[in-house]
Amino acid sequence: QVQLVESGGGLVQAGGSLRLSCAASGRTFSSYTMGWFRQAPGKEREFVAAISRSGGATYYADSVKGRFTISRGNPKNTVNLQMNSLKPEDTAVYYCAADPAFPTAYYSDYVWDYWGQGTQVTVSS
């Protein structure tokens, strides 16, 4: 089992940057595929990015490709989401997720086993 705690959310102007972090408990962090999802008011939770257990493969939603970067392991037991060129439509609660396997349907929130509590990101225009 793993516990996830997100941090780094806040208010930023359009075009700015934020770095989200997700700290994972437990000594088996490297055995989990990690992901980020987000949920805007009145909308369903949507996939943002995922990273394989080794960190060698990354996956992004089309809406964030080229602007967001997911990484893991720095610091240890942490997965990060660097968000650049932020837009008002990026405003949402961002959630960290973990799974002990690589979910084939990684873009679907229902396949992930563990979730953090979420951190708010607000982008003003």
Q: Are 5 and 116 contacting, i.e. CB atoms less than 8 angstroms apart?
A: yes
The pLDDT of 15-24, averaged and rounded, is 97
Q: Are 35 and 106 contacting, i.e. CB atoms less than 8 angstroms apart?
A: yes
State the average pLDDT for the chain.
94
Residue count (the chain): 125
The pLDDT of 76-98, averaged and rounded, is 96
The pLDDT of 111-119, averaged and rounded, is 95
